[in-house]
Structure 1
Amino acid sequence: MKRHLTWILLLLTLLVGVLPGAAAAGMEKMTVTFYDEVSQSYGQPTVTDRINLTLDGAPLTPVDVPALVQYPAGSQNGRTLVPVRLISEALEATVTWVPETRQVVILREGSTIVLTLGSASALVDGKQVQLPDGIPAGVVKWEGKESTMVPLRFVSEQLGAQVEWQGDTATAAITSPKEEKPQPPTDPTGPEEGDLGWITGLDFDKTTQTFTVTADHTPQYRILDLGDRLAIDLLGAVYAPAVGKDLILSVESDAIEQIRCSQHGDDLGYGYPHTLRLVLDLASGVSYAQNLSVSAGGNQVRVSVSEAPEQPELPPLEPGKITIAIDPGHGGNQPGAVYPDANGNDVKEKDLTLPMSLMLAEILEDRGYNVVPTRTGDDSVSLADRAKMANAADAELFVSIHCNALDRNDYEGIFTYYYPNSTKGAALAQQVQDGVVAATGGIGRGTPSANFQVLRETTMPAVLVETGFMTHPGELARLCDPTYQQKIALGIANGIDAYLNNRT
């Protein structure tokens, strides 16, 4: 009997060592909803456990959504999720949100963590790593507030911190990375065995707006698009002026604010003894996709400014009329989703959103509105410029038109998105969603919020309408039909009228 009691006590001790579920004492309950990246909507309310946080003994308190436990299906042992910006900045890391790919990029001292919302794996310094228990990063809503949440232990340990579970107070205690004692300099005097060679020059030509990297070998490089920054890693390369210190190169450019240069060893995970990282800080409204091009030839890598940012040009606006900004998604060298129709011909999203937007513009103009389109042809327009155009026009409303896609072909329906915590945006989204569903007879999938750039950077109530799924054969056929496109345009116009007529 005594031996059995000993084994029972040992088993209980092991269970408490894992972040507990129902076995934990003193946990406060909270009701949250988790955003599903597949259906692009919030799930049903879930009751879970609230977690306290400390950093080096001091309370660490989230502003919006508290730390909480997410339990895998069928398991009582969960993983703690915390707001990404809270934990990253507490551990002296920077956070970048990439809306086009639904990714969070965390940077600290040359280390890079890329978390894709809804994915059970992450990229750590370019290597794929499975997340513990498959618990992904994701958006969580609690009491009307939303936060992007990430696994606490995984992110903390990747940033060099430690996490200890204190079950008696339901607290995750985080300890900052220990400061290393100064070591004798180990900076390279030159390339080592396994490296490719020297970087012999970094030059910026203000006339041609070209940044040139010159090497004594054929350079190998990787590009990381960080939204407001562009990182270029030169593999197996050493640049003597950057050894032992970070350099900042001043440039005369409207697109590039400065270029930072940092010499790394083998810490970036590329398999070379050294890597030179160049970071181009981009001016407001500039993006790699729209304004820069990277090319290589011989012993050089060149970054060229292909399109300088300009102030948006607006059509003539009639005083006294309400102005509506209409944004046909994608365009130019950004086709959006591409899927074959019933005849096997590729259909590009940009070729569906434009006619729908032009139809909408015509309806609104007939109803007495000013209309500002972000594009009227097959043009490349950055997300930042789309928002700038609407803001410069002092538009009353902003409507972006897109088509959806999934990795399955049996899901169809209409979504209308608004920016998180925008009361007016939510009201506009509901009216537009109701209008489109009524006009088309399509399946209404709801009005979730999302941190899309065009919704975030516009200063007026803004919505993004996902008019249907190109991956569903029947819905794709309807989206290609001008009669159905006209119904979508009419539904959006009716929703705009309803919103404006019901404002208080």
Structure 2
Amino acid sequence: MRRYLSLFLIFFIFFGMTCDVSALKKYERETVHIIDGSNGREYDVKVVNILMGGNDVISDVPGMLFNDRTLVPVRFISENLGAKVTWNQDRKEAVIKTNEKEIILKIDSPIVLVNGEKYTLPSGVPAKLLGYEGNYRTMVPLRFVSEQLGMEVGWIGETMTATIDKPLQYIKDIYYDGSTKFPEIVIKTTGEVETSSFFLEGSEVGGEDRLVVDIPNTILDIGDKSKVDLNGLLHIDIYEKDIKAVRASQFEVNPYKTRIVVDVSVKKGYKIVYDKEKKEVRIKFINLVNDIKIDKIYNVDTVIIKTEEEPAYNIMFLDGKIVVDVLNSLLNYKGKPIEVNKGGIKGVRFSQFKPDQNYEPDDKISRIVVDLEKNVRAEDVYIEHIKNDIYVYVAGKPLDGFDYYKENVNTAKLVINTDGETEYTAKYIKADKEVVLKIEKTKINLDSMKLDIEDKIVKNIRIDSDRSEEYYYIYIELADGTVFVDNSSSKLTDKIILSFINKSLTVSKFKDKLVVIDPGHGGKDPGAMSPNLRIKEKDVVLDVSLKLKKLLETEGFKVYMTRQDDNYIGLYDRATIANELGADVFVSIHANAHSKRSIEGVQVLYYPYDEHRDNKTFAKIMRDSLVKGLGALDRGIIQRPKLVVPRETKMPAVLVELGFLTNPKEEKLLSTSEYRMKCAKATFNGIVKYFEKVLMK
């Protein structure tokens, strides 16, 4: 009976199954438990990370070391190596085809056919049908198949990482091209290469902004030796179109990797392409539209257009629609048109717009069209941008004329612009630690709402439109130590300016300390998913991380997050970000999962073999803080010597697991904003204690 069941499994799961709730938690594990689908035998095997062209490969069943050979899901071949994969059920064979080759792998057979010729697989390790937490996949030998398809495979033993790259190439020249509308860095190579990259916003924490581009399996061999110093490092000063300089070095030699760093004066969007004919990588600096979504801003449905740098844009109000043209940009968002039919918005469409008579032929324009419901008028719409994001408010701007912002670490301002001069009063109520502001309703249009600020200067701002028919009452609750100053020109004005100052923040003992927070997973990697509420780990940990960032900043810390939205950052890149910034500590935030639903509690993972960093002490302090702050079960501190992120960082680093999404109790807790704030506060307390007891002792 088992034999027929196995045949059914092979046929059914070759083409994929729904991902198990914890299938993607493998990246925090060193081993996984698998079942041989042919004979039912069970094994514990080591997990293998996969880097393809320098980028992490994310799959529901991990790469694994089986009898000393790396096996990967056959789907990896079709999705990453451009081959066509089919399944022959009768023969139990996976057939991999390209224009040049046909590779036939038979389940449990060490013999493989390549264009009809027989070969014996290395070490006799065959293709296998293996199950991991309910997911069965046809697993094939990574090195043999990749090399047959013209790729080169390397191995990083320290982190159990297999690398798959284009054949080794040389980088012969690097130069700046400012002759076109959009500046470019050109990298001449001897053949086709792939890249991985990230933008480091160092200016957020007092450093420099830069683009980091890695080109795996390449040797830096600049022909013009005048461009490089005695150590082989290239440095070119540019100082044009916000590009300051470009640097390059042979960053690694086993396996080879060239790193190129472009220093910029402001954050820049960029697109990297490889030109096969010219044999060159071109880094084009141009704004990107990365995301288009609808969200509620102060309870108003709002279209948000997220770009890579501060945008320039044109707006057109046409019959029944709003057109936003983001200038000098490429549409990088791959989503589908959005249907809404509520809040005044029918839907949102977008495209890379071909310039018409209103633009120059070489203009690059991302066009976003917001279709409106019938009752919406042009005067109901307000559009603004804040930093890199464009906001289209269809019901008018929330808090129009009302602007609270921080000027620096200890000073904030509330500026209220009114429609003509008005008399107002601003009184401090000492017993309530509140400033009460009274403004005529005829001079401004506001709605009742509460704004939670919590920046150690102001706790919250409450707008009350119901107390009086003639006046708005605005209550500003101050944090301990904050004083307020009325900077308005007079009591009869069209611009009310209140300053809030908390001088204690300027003398914070943590004001020069930098914490890098790493919200785990993100983008293509959802992490674990809870079984009942279907909440994703990547969303939980991002919310906790944002709350943690705010807590740390209000205490005077400098804070940098590896991601602040739903995008994926490479494992090695996360460590590189912290190292480049010279962080004092690194904290990676995760939620756990287990096949047994009864398992619960908090864990802290760390790299054990670095006395200078003292990760173990950091892990102990963080574990104690989480157990105390959450009232959670203590699952201990766990050594993870091969885990990429804590290993590759150069400062004290921990990976915290806040609870199990697979446990019914902790799933419910982690779904709430209140408990996530408890997680943030417990993590915050652990960080503060580590600084006070260890780093600043």
Normalising to structure 1: TM-score of the pair?
Answer: 0.46
Q: Larger relative CO (CA 8 A, sep 6+): 1 or 2?
A: 1
- Rg larger in structure: 2
Normalising to structure 2: TM-score of the pair?
Answer: 0.34
